[in-house]
């Protein structure tokens, strides 16, 4: 507020500006998952959980962003002298594709991961399938079941053609079935090195397995591989109940975290020293560095960083601007010294001439 006071004796006007000091508060941001980039009013403030200090009192916009998740926006009110806590849950980006199934003969029942999807009267389109591996199975009375594991990509349609063999065929290979139960769920089942599906609800039935001795391998991230030799009997079901042993993981980063000026490699190893994940820092363009680091739970996370002096060979360039200043300074110094030498040479020549003139005048005076 501006106030004016008048002094009638000396006729002076005095202006006084009463300005209240800006009041500030703090903002604490926690997210699910952790290690999320946090922006407050479009200014980067670090990764969650993070406390942002000395924010002006009032409303602020928070943006939380992480690769593989949808950005989240939250408005929070900061009060003077207080810390406002904000909790944000990010939603993962779900990637989906399609599967188109045809069978020979037509009229077969189609199952996707043991869920009925329809009957083939031509191509049967199964839409909205999550990205990854899935088991497609076809069944028809008087025919043996046919199945295939397919991979679905985001926005793509995977084509599957299944041929069903009549039960009275003379070229039938003796087969049996395998029923696998795993603890925990979601384990990948391999028979003789071929992927057969996941134990989505803790179990998986694999049909039409050639009879005889087979090698069963069960894998799951975070657990040691399970191996067993099994015997498949014709027209019978073999049962396997497997309990997986949790593996101890350790994460190693050669540049010890977020060091943008050193190319690092992040490696996740199991307790048996097998490498399960490995990523190296790289430049996605001339200025952007993709920096990998160890996150919580011995997992690998990444962060995009804009290098101030450019990016090359998996690291930010160092002090390019400073070096150019040194070159410019050295160049300027050379020019300065050259000018000084020229000025000194002119001064010496002028001084010599003045001395000669002075000596000539003295000689004339003596005469």
Q: Is 27 exposed, middle or buried (0-12, 13-18, 19+ CB in 10 A)?
A: buried
Rounded to whole angstroms, the Cα distance separating 61 from 51 reads: 15
| Residues 79 and 100 placed together within one structural domain of the fold | no
Predicted pLDDT at 321: 47
Is the residue at 323 inside a domain?
no
| Residues 78 and 156 placed together within one structural domain of the fold | no
Which DSSP string do the residues of 206-247 spell out, in sequence order? EEEEESEEEEEEEE-TTB--EEEEEEEPTT-EEEEEEEPPBP
| Residues 229 and 258 placed together within one structural domain of the fold | no
Is the residue at 217 inside a domain?
yes
Q: Which of 39, 72, 89 is the last residue of a domain?
A: 89
Predicted pLDDT at 298: 65
Supply the CATH number for residue 27's domain: 2.60.40.10
Predicted pLDDT at 82: 93
| Residues 117 and 75 placed together within one structural domain of the fold | no
Is the residue at 346 inside a domain?
no
225 phi, psi to nearest 5 deg: -65, 145
Is the residue at 355 inside a domain?
no
Distance of CA 323 to the CA centre of its chain: 33
122 phi, psi to nearest 5 deg: 150, -160
Domain count, the chain: 4
Nearest to 61 by CA among 22, 23, 92, 88: 88
Rounded to whole angstroms, the Cα distance separating 290 from 45 reads: 19
Count of helix runs (H) and strand runs (E) in the chain = 1, 31
Is the residue at 41 inside a domain?
yes
Predicted pLDDT at 8: 42
Rounded to whole angstroms, the Cα distance separating 247 from 276 reads: 11
Question: Residues for the chain: how many in total?
Answer: 367
Predicted pLDDT at 17: 45
Nearest to 46 by CA among 60, 57, 35: 35
Whether 83 and 51 have beta carbons less than 8 Å apart is answered as yes
Which DSSP string do the residues of 155-190 spell out, in sequence order? T-EEEEEEEPPBTT-TTPPPEEEEEEEEESSS-EEE
Q: Which of 152, 169, 186 is the last residue of a domain?
A: 169
Q: Which of 204, 223, 246 is the last residue of a domain?
A: 246
Rounded to whole angstroms, the Cα distance separating 254 from 135 reads: 40
Whether 36 and 48 have beta carbons less than 8 Å apart is answered as yes
Rounded to whole angstroms, the Cα distance separating 338 from 334 reads: 6
Q: Which domain holds residue 309?
A: 250-316
Which DSSP string do the residues of 317-367 spell out, in sequence order? PPSHHHHHHHHHHHHHHHHHHHHHHHHHHHHHHHHHHHHHHHHHHHHHHH-
Predicted pLDDT at 295: 74
Residue 69 is classified by DSSP as B
Is the residue at 44 inside a domain?
yes
Is the residue at 206 inside a domain?
yes
Is the residue at 351 inside a domain?
no
Per-residue pLDDT of the chain (367 residues; tens, 9 = 90+): 444 444 444 444 444 444 445 689 999 999 999 899 999 999 999 999 999 999 999 999 999 999 888 899 999 999 999 999 999 999 888 788 999 999 999 999 999 988 999 999 999 999 999 888 888 999 999 888 888 888 888 889 999 999 898 887 666 678 888 999 999 998 999 999 888 888 988 899 898 898 888 999 998 877 788 999 999 988 888 999 999 987 777 777 887 777 888 898 988 876 666 777 888 999 999 999 999 888 765 678 888 889 988 999 999 998 654 444 555 556 667 788 888 888 888 888 887 777 777 766 666 665 5
């Amino acid at each position: 507020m501006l106030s004016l006071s008048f002094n009638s004796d000396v006729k002076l006007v005095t202006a006084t500006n009463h300005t209240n000091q800006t009041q500030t508060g703090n903002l604490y941001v926690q997210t699910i998952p952790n290690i999320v980039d946090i922006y407050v009013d479009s200014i980067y403030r670090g990764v969650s959980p993070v406390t942002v200090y000395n924010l002006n009192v009032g409303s602020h916009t928070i943006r939380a962003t992480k690769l593989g998740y949808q950005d989240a926006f939250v408005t929070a009110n900061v009060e003077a002298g207080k810390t406002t806590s904000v909790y944000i849950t990010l939603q993962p980006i779900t990637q989906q594709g399609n599967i188109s199934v045809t069978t020979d003969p037509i009229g077969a029942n189609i199952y996707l991961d043991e869920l009925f999807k329809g009957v083939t009267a031509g191509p049967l389109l199964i839409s909205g399938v999550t990205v990854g591996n899935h088991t497609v199975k076809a069944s028809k009375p008087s025919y043996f079941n046919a199945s295939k594991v397919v991979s679905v990509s985001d926005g793509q349609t995977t084509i599957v053609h299944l041929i069903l063999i009549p039960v009275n065929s003379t070229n039938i290979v003796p087969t049996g079935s395998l029923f696998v139960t795993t603890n925990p769920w979601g384990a990948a089942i391999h028979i003789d090195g071929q992927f057969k599906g996941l134990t989505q609800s803790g179990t998986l039935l694999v049909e039409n397995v050639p009879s005889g001795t087979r090698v069963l391998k069960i894998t799951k991230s975070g657990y040691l591989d399970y191996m067993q030799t099994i015997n498949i009997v014709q027209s019978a079901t073999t049962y396997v109940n497997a309990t997986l042993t949790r593996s101890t993981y350790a994460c190693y980063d050669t540049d010890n975290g977020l060091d943008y000026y050193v190319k690092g490699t992040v490696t996740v190893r199991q307790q048996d020293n097998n490498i399960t994940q490995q990523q190296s820092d790289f430049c996605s363009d001339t200025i952007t560095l993709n920096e990998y680091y160890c996150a919580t739970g011995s997992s690998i996370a990444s962060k995009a960083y804009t290098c101030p002096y450019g990016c090359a060979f998996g690291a930010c360039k160092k002090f390019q601007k400073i070096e150019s200043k040194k070159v410019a300074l050295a160049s300027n110094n050379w020019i300065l010294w050259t000018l000084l030498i020229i000025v000194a040479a002119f001064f010496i020549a002028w001084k010599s001439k003045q001395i000669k003139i002075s000596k000539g005048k003295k000689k004339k005076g003596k005469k």
